[in-house]
Amino acid sequence: MKILAIESSCDETAAAVVEDGRRILSNVVSTQIEIHAKWGGVVPELASRRHLESIGPVVDEALKVAEVAVDSLDAVAVTYGPGLVGSLLVGLEYAKALAWAHAKPLVPVHHIAGHIHAPFLAFDHIPLPTIALVVSGGHTSLFLMKELGVYELLSRTRDDAAGEAYDKVAKLLGLGYPGGPIVDKLAATGRDDAVFFKMAKMSDGKPDFSFSGLKTAVLQHVKKHSIAQVASPAAVPDDVRDLLASFQKAVVTALLRRLKDAVERHRPASVILTGGVAANSRLRKDAQAMMSAMSVPLFVPPLHLTTDNAAMIGAAGAVAFDRGIRAGSNLEAEPFAAIGV
């Protein structure tokens, strides 16, 4: 079974051809980082315009690399949400038109489901049930998956996603966009005990995440200690490195504390760490150490499958296809689409 998958939920225009939900025949991504870097974050209008320019060539390239004709496809899978509505519409309408013109089934895929299934492209066997920690610029959630394609939401962020906090802290200190890789690199050279940040607790006792308070605490620390924006990435002062190391420690501690609680409660056969922030070196290292101590296998996709891509949509799309999930021409973009509720 060959599926053409399309992803355009934020600032990456992506298309891939995936065979049997496991084998990547092509995985083409057109990034917009340079466009949005000078603004310190994604500008929705600019993102949707670039998607319009890129979607056709990206899909054509994915089919060419895979050496697959549209008529030989079994289905077209597409991200319908969540994400930026203007960005979502570009990929969604292109997929709908392509599926209609070639009489192919259209499979709707939730963006987070794509992240959950990304590791299945890299590992032959991931035992179920599994708990998936999905951490990115727009999402921070924990899911229990007892069978493929069935997701139970365990925890979510009440405000900012972890990746968003990284970007905002990087922007505050003049480090550029995207902030995750920059903060990760600089944090490795700082003292993570230099600044103490409290972990947020929910007043209703639910095991959810919250990073807005941490972001505010960093801002207050910067103001209190008169820390200036970094003039050059090549000359970052020690107090900034220490602040970043302490911030990163707080984020990773919050993520893994919730993960540990979920593993102890649900006793899964495996754990998945996925999403853009899963590329963070400290998170990967500390998660591996914790899961090893708990004797639970951890599965983390390779770096090129942690960030937004269409291969993961193809993997999730194959599962949805096998479950009989289809959509018609009335499929709409859902910028706030829920999953596992």
Over residues 181-207, the pLDDT tens digits come to 999 999 999 999 999 998 888 888 889
Over residues 226-261, the pLDDT tens digits come to 998 998 777 899 999 999 999 999 999 999 999 999
Under the banding of pLDDT at 50, 70 and 90, the label for residue 158 is very high
pLDDT surpasses 70 at 213: yes
Which CATH architecture best describes the domain 127-300?
2-Layer Sandwich (3.30)
pLDDT surpasses 80 at 306: yes
CA-to-CA distance for 331 and 107, rounded, in angstroms?
10
The average pLDDT across 52-73 equals 98
CA-to-CA distance for 156 and 281, rounded, in angstroms?
22
Q: What is the pLDDT of residue 232?
A: 79
How many CA atoms, within 13 angstroms, populate the side-chain half-sphere of residue 141? 19
End-to-end CA distance of the chain: 30
Segments in the chain forming alpha helices (H): 33-37, 44-66, 85-101, 111-117, 162-172, 179-187, 212-224, 238-266, 281-293, 311-322
Q: What is the pLDDT of residue 341?
A: 67
Give me Rg for the CA atoms of the chain: 20
CA distances from 299 to 108, 117, 154, 159 (A): 25, 11, 19, 27
The average pLDDT across 281-300 equals 98
Average pLDDT of the chain to the nearest whole number: 95
pLDDT surpasses 70 at 323: yes
3 state DSSP class of 23: strand
Is residue 139 within 8 A of residue 279, CB to CB? The reply is no
Same fold, 2-118+305-322 and 127-300: yes
**Is 0.85 topped by the overall pTM?**
yes
Return the CATH fold of 2-118+305-322.
Nucleotidyltransferase; domain 5 (3.30.420)
The domain segmentation of the chain, as residue ranges, is: 2-118+305-322, 127-300
- Which two structure tokens, joined as six digits, stand for 249? 């420690």
